[in-house]
Homo-oligomer: A and B are copies of this chain.
Amino acid sequence: MTKQRLTIVKIGGKIIDDPLRLDVFLESFSTLSGPRILIHGGGKVASDLAAKLGVDQRMYNGRRITDIESLKIVTMVYAGLINKQIVAKLQVLGQNAIGLSGADFNLLTAIKRSPGVVDYGYVGDFHKGSAHTENLAYLLKKGIPVFCSIVHDGKGHLLNVNADTLAAELAASLSGLFETHLYYCFEKKGVLMQYDDDNSVIPQLNQQRYNELKIYNAVKHGMIPKLENAFTALNGGATSVCIIQDNALIQSVKNPKNHGTTISLY
């Protein structure tokens, strides 16, 4: 039997930070048909709140170290403020959105990362069986799951995860039930050959090419984790992954080859 197409879209923090841009994005998202999942990043609201509260934001290799106070802040901002604002906006657009963390319906469990060179605190990593795909499929029959990047460990604790990684995990896990297509929407036009040249989009990128570019330091500026997540999704069974600008979503769904960067294994 042919699997039904499932469109999984992740929007980055810079789109969340710009209310007008977010509205435009949500309008285009709502014109797509068929089952869909939206995943949102955090933006700078959490950092702003941490600064106001005098909670130090420590980073390591571009990743936030999530101590207990930071966990409270991201839970409030991501699962509370941003998530419910997006859900309310989608409802106006006739989209039956339901805002979710991984704890809700036990949808996504992660394991707290063990301290290594650095202790990342309340940060989670996914494992085999992280996603409760049956419960997620049940929600997909009635509406549009909207995920923030807070999950739980199944032992009563919340954990912060990377939103790109969460999107990849869903695209991979749900590939058993659906033909999953993952779109990473952000402020750039795709993966760029030169970071400051918007016209240097790499249209297609496979694993081998990516490895070569990495050796020559041609891929950087936070793009490496996003690409690693893209390959994780594909290796896990996702049908396609595109890295595109937020305003290119509709066109990319119609014709991925002409927009942003299409990621493939081979």
Contact = CB atoms under 8 A, between A and B. Distances in A.
Interface string A90-101: 011000111111
Contacts of A101: 84, 87, 99
Nearest to A146: B104
Given A91-B106, A103-B91, A106-B96, A85 B158 contact: yes
Interface stretch (A2-10, A74-82, A206-214): A74-82
A116 interface: no
Size band of the interface chain A makes with B: 35 or more
Contacts of A40: none
B76 A80 contact: yes
Contacts of A96: 105-106, 135
Interface in A113-152: 135, 138, 142-143, 150, 152
Contacts of A106: 91, 96
A150 B99 CA distance: 13
Given A76-B77, A155-B92, A150 B84 contact: yes
